[in-house]
Amino acid sequence: MQFSFAVKKLDDNLKQTLVILQNCRTLYDQDGICESNLLDTLTRTGENLDQLRETLQNILAANERRFDMIEFLVQALNMEHHIVGEMQSYMRVIPDEELKADLNKLLLEETKHEEALASRIRSLGGESQTTYNVAPRPREISILELLKRHKISDEQCRQHYEVGLTRFREPEFQWILGQLAMEEREHVTQLDALIQKYQSSDVMSQELKHIKWVDPYMGTPGDRPWVE
């Protein structure tokens, strides 16, 4: 399985190389270069790369479904990784211990999702690499807005899994996606309850209405005049 995925990466790199090679050929013509040996090298290199890609097609065709699954799971993994990263970030600055306990339960479940997806990707021969792009954050935000942002992310994750249920018919794959979709629906239900609770101004203290993002690595509370 790992070999076929490595072949897929090789083919992707060859495809990019051919694009760069074609750009070199265009620049060769635009710059009016007249070196027959160089032109011959560019031409033969392109032909050889095309031939190499042709020899890989049988392997790629035989594993196309698996590559599709891996790509879908990697997308899901990045979505879950984003949710985990965001939750870990804002749980550091939430002063309400009861709310932190509720969110920590959700965080543990999201972390399990991330681990399950990474394991499944590896079992298919893929690489469970993740990216985490931090969106611009306001200097202050209420807990209500944080909960709503988290709900949107969970909804997007659930929709992704449900798309997979219609796209992939393999029983084992369907079971995995079904479980994840069901748990994300439950997360949304729990978040709806928290949002309903904190929509009441009587419940939400002034501290929770104005939470400041603070980098935990920039000193201790009370000793950070540049952020406090």
Could you report the per-residue pLDDT of 143-154, keeping only the tens digit for each? 888 889 899 999
Answer yes or no: is pLDDT of 88 > 60.
Answer: yes
Report yes or no: 165 and 181 within 8 Å, Cβ to Cβ: yes
For residue 64, the number of C-alpha atoms closer than 13 Å in the C-beta half-sphere is 5
pLDDT class of 224 with cuts at 50, 70, 90: very low
Rounded CA separation 89/75 (Å): 21
Largest CA distance in the chain: 81
11-43 per-position pLDDT tens digit: 889 999 999 999 998 998 888 888 889 989 989
Judge whether residue 203 has pLDDT over 60. no
Residue 166 has pLDDT above 60, yes or no: yes
Cross-strand partners of 140: 212
Going by the DSSP 8-state scheme, the letter that residue 140 receives in this structure is E
Q: What is the pLDDT of residue 217?
A: 47
Q: Are 6 and 67 in contact (CB under 8 A)?
A: no
Average pLDDT over residues 162-169: 91
Count the Cβ atoms, other than its own, within 10 Å of residue 53. 16
Q: Write out the two tokens for 207.
A: 């501290």
| Owner of token pair 């209420």 | 142
Report whether pLDDT(227) > 90: no
**Does the pLDDT at position 228 exceed 50?**
no
Confidence of residue 65 (pLDDT cuts 50, 70, 90): confident
Q: What is the Cα–Cα distance from 208 to 29, expressed in whole angstroms?
A: 64
| DSSP per residue, 62-97 | HTHHHHHHHHHHHHHHHHHHHHHHHHHHHHTS---H
